Structure 1
Amino acid sequence: MHNMPNEVTEVFAAYPLKVKQALLQIRQWIEHVASENLQIGELSECLKWGEPSYITLNGIGTTLRLGRVRDSDSKFALLVHCQTRLVADFKEVYPDCEYDKNRAFLLDSAQPLPEQIIKHFILLALTYHLKR
């Protein structure tokens, strides 16, 4: 997944600088989490709903999208399919984090990125179907 598709590059380029920097860091963590867990295997990077999206080629994960929160120059989201239990389950472990219903884990690029929490969310998304 090292080479970013052109359409994904264009979307990242359109984000406000701090959001772009945060999301590019998270993209690196997605690669890192996938490389550390052999069950995840290879990832596909594409656009879904106009947002950079990451999915396991072997089907064990749910799609993880990276997006900007509308009307904010600093907020962004890690989004998953709204019919998964991922966000609900994550809220039980991290109740003090910010969420958008059952579809997104919200973050603010004006704050330090909680690396371990984000990596945990990435791991849960990329291995979602293993636990079902």
Structure 2
Amino acid sequence: MKDNPDVLAIFEGYPADIRERLLTIRSLIAETATQRDDIGELEETMKWGQASYLTKRPKTGTTIRIDRDNSGAGDVALYVNCQSSLVSDWRTMFPDLIFGGDRSVHFTQGRPLPEDALRQMIGMALTYHSAKRSAARSRV
């Protein structure tokens, strides 16, 4: 994944504690993508004013966005497409986390990031489309 200067500039504008957590999540996204053969090439870009990560070739997953959380549910959040089943699946798998509707999971400064859960959620998001295609083929 190539660094996107616009994303890095957004992160630089945040207070140090928020920036550090976002950069940790960003690192987990990049690590997960490089460590798994079933995840396509990753691109870092900006969408809706937020740092966004999507698979380009092949298009294996749905876009992940990360940003400061302005909802009051936490300090930073990881967002996915609300039309996906991801947050519903994560809510079942990780009931102790804080979720925002069908599109986000929120993290507060006073608690350590659940890195193992995050790696699993990131992997599921970055393989969402390929997993759906595989499930559809197995039903035929």
Q: Same fold judged by TM-score > 0.5?
A: yes
Matched with 1:10 is 9
Q: Answer whether contact 1:75 1:108 (CA < 8 A) is retained.
A: yes
Identity %: 37
Matches within 5 A, 1:1-132: 1=1, 3-57=2-56, 58-70=58-70, 75-132=75-132
Distance 1:71 1:85, change over 3 A: closer
CA distance in 2: counterparts of 1:105 and 1:28, whole angstroms: 17
Unaligned runs of 5+ in 2: 133-140
> What's the Cα RMSD here?
1.3
CA distance in 2: counterparts of 1:16 and 1:86, whole angstroms: 29
Q: Answer whether contact 2:60 2:129 (CA < 8 A) is retained.
A: yes
Structure 1: 4+ residue segments shifted above 3 A: none
Q: Looking at CA atoms only, which structure, 1 or 2, has the larger radius of gyration?
A: 2
Equivalent position amino acid for 1:56 in 2: T
Q: Answer whether contact 2:29 2:122 (CA < 8 A) is retained.
A: yes
Deviation at 1:42, TM superposition (A): 1.2
TM-score (norm: length of structure 1): 0.93
CA distance in 2: counterparts of 1:35 and 1:71, whole angstroms: 31
CA distance in 2: counterparts of 1:35 and 1:87, whole angstroms: 23
CA distance in 2: counterparts of 1:93 and 1:71, whole angstroms: 23
